[in-house]
Amino acid sequence: MRKEVAVAVVVTTAATVLGAAVLVRQWKRRGERRWRHGQRILRKFARDSATPVAKLWHIANQLASDMQEGLISSGDHNNLSMLVSYHAPLPTGEEGGIYYGINLRGTNFLIIRARLDGKNEPVTEIRRKEVSIPSQIMVNSDSTKELFDFIAIELAKYISVHGETEIARDKKLGFTVSIPVVEAPLSSGFAVKWNSLYVDNTVGKELANEINQALKKHGVEMQVYAVVNDTIGDLAGGRYYSKESVAAVTLGMGTYVAYLESPQQISKPLSESPKSGETVVNLQWANFNSSLLPLTEFDVSLDSESTNPGGRTFEKLISGMYLGEIVRRVLLKMAQEAALFGDHVPPKLRIPYLLRSPDMAAMHQDTSEDYEIVDEKLKDIFEISNTTPMVREIVAEVCDVVAERGARLVGAGIVGLVKKLGRIANKKSVITIEGGLYEHYRVFRNYLHSSVWEMLGSELSDNVVIEHFHGGSGAGSIFLAASQTQNAHS
């Protein structure tokens, strides 16, 4: 009897061990299948996102062609709007003295005071004061009068404390606007007014008249020549340091471009005659669209669920507002179909725009042996724990694909712009870039520079110089004030 029990126990134990072994093999096979499927998703995404040099040149050529068409026609058939935005001369590098600027940024504005010493010397003695705009002014959609009164009062206070005892009556006040993408409801009159600066060059003059009335009312003896977007200010700064500066690019949450164009190249009617041999054009390359762009299923779904389906296609591929969201969508599909983070999809991974581009950059640039920063970000943002180093490496690779594509497309855009100007072969062109995406995302910046070098080769790449904007936030208003004051004296 005892032998029979012993035999039964042995048989039962053996069957249990065998069953467990079978389950382990099945689990491993299922895990391997999931892992292979996750790899297939990543490889397909990388293929669809690829930007070989030949494709980049096709995109650059298309952009140059669309730019030329936009300078001829004002019609809606061209998706690339070309707004002639600023007619006054830009700095020469000889401007000197103390100047003031205002940089309106949505819920606040900066007052900037700085000294220029001419001879292309760096800006010195720069001071900034950030002033929050009261909420009751922000929600006033009827008029900007209350806002400009508030700005004039705060500027008068600032000058009384930090300024000269007397300001020349013809000294200009630079005024730039940089409304963040996520600031101010789009339905408010506040946002509509500022966003219209990018599509209607008459708005800047109207706003200048309003702010000048407020400045006079509150005893500030300066005048604003024009209210412009801050990318034009960046172009003015680039021009101060180099006569070969031809364009400025903003690469942050959104993306904007301003460049110098010969008036002879512009066939459509101008609101006023340029005061120099060049005029500033606001290139709306955020709206650039082409069948050549490397769009993936994730870009298509992002676009269809956005607030502007079919619009700002190029921006959705290259700007900080969208890079992290594309990464999140890829990771979500891998979690759903390949169980990248386990049998259950992390709930927070389903929340749109939860992954910001600075966090994406931190994961992408993680050089620790086991991707410890990736692990930390997954826990903090999505509450995803217990990931393996292999899973974290996959996350970093997804970030790499998204960043490389975006940066190389920016490079193609820059080459296309310089080609339109006819400067690739025998003229040096300086492109000024400003914005957190370029400044703080090192790998993105490196991919951008390398794409331009790959496209132009060693013989021509020195003709396109990409530089970070000098002076910091809002400083473009100082360079505009200097050039406008100098022009008033001449």
Token pair recorded at residue 478: 């100082």
Contacts of 169 (CB under 8 A, 6+ apart): 221
Q: Which pairing describes strands 124-132 and 173-177: parallel, antiparallel, or unpaired? A: unpaired
Give the span between the Cα atoms of 408 and 472, in whole angstroms. 25
Give the span between the Cα atoms of 227 and 396, in whole angstroms. 42
| In contact, 293 and 268? CB cutoff 8 Å | no
Which pTM was predicted? 0.89
The pairs formed by 158-161 with CB atoms below 8 angstroms and a separation of 24 or more are 158/111, 158/113, 158/129, 159/100, 159/220
Please name the helix (run of DSSP H) or strand (run of DSSP E) that holds residue 44, with its range, or none: helix 2-48
Q: Which pairing describes strands 82-86 and 429-434: parallel, antiparallel, or unpaired? A: unpaired
10-residue mean pLDDT profile of the chain (490 residues): values are 46 45 46 84 97 98 94 68 83 91 90 88 87 83 80 93 62 84 42 54 76 94 89 94 95 94 79 70 93 98 94 96 98 96 95 97 96 97 95 97 98 98 94 94 98 96 93 87 79
The pairs formed by 440-444 with CB atoms below 8 angstroms and a separation of 24 or more are 440/358, 440/361, 441/357, 441/361, 441/364, 441/365, 441/403, 442/361, 442/365, 443/361, 443/364, 443/365, 443/400, 443/403, 444/361, 444/403, 444/406, 444/407
Q: Among residues 230, 208, 116, which one has the least CA distance to residue 476?
A: 230
Q: Among residues 411, 414, 470, which one has the least CA distance to residue 439?
A: 470
| In contact, 240 and 234? CB cutoff 8 Å | no
- pLDDT for the residue 73: 75
- pLDDT for the residue 8: 46
Amino acid of residue 324: G
The size of the chain, in residues, is: 490
Give the E-state strand segments of 73-225 in sequence order: 82-86, 96-104, 108-117, 124-132, 173-177
